Amino acid sequence: MIRVCALSELDDRKPLAVDADGNPVVVVRDGERVHALQDVCSHAAVSLSEGEVTKQGIECWLHGSRFDLVTGEPSSPPASEPVDVYSVEVRDGDVYVAVPQT
């Protein structure tokens, strides 16, 4: 697990771009839950952290594809492939993310 930010840095439903050991990750606080996804849209390879979080998930700013915060599955076109989702742990006020070792 890699520390990516303090929990206090996360505003509810506002995406935050972080670097997790060289991996681009978007972290989103949704109430009491914290989610981490690959910060690259599977359709156009742009940063998801520049988009908005809606009730349907995180929306890509370029073409409007939405990705579920829990599964990474797209819920609207043009994206048809999911983005990676990473395990998150909150410890002592800090957010940790498990990313694959490269």
Q: Is the pLDDT of residue 101 over 80?
A: no
Q: What's the mean pLDDT in 12-28?
A: 96
What is the Cα–Cα distance from 41 to 68, expressed in whole angstroms?
A: 12
Q: Is the pLDDT of residue 20 over 80?
A: yes
Q: Is the pLDDT of residue 35 over 80?
A: yes
Q: Is the pLDDT of residue 93 over 90?
A: yes
Q: Which residues contact 12 (CB under 8 A, 6 or more apart)?
A: 29, 30, 31
Q: Which residues pair with residue 52 across a beta bridge?
A: 59
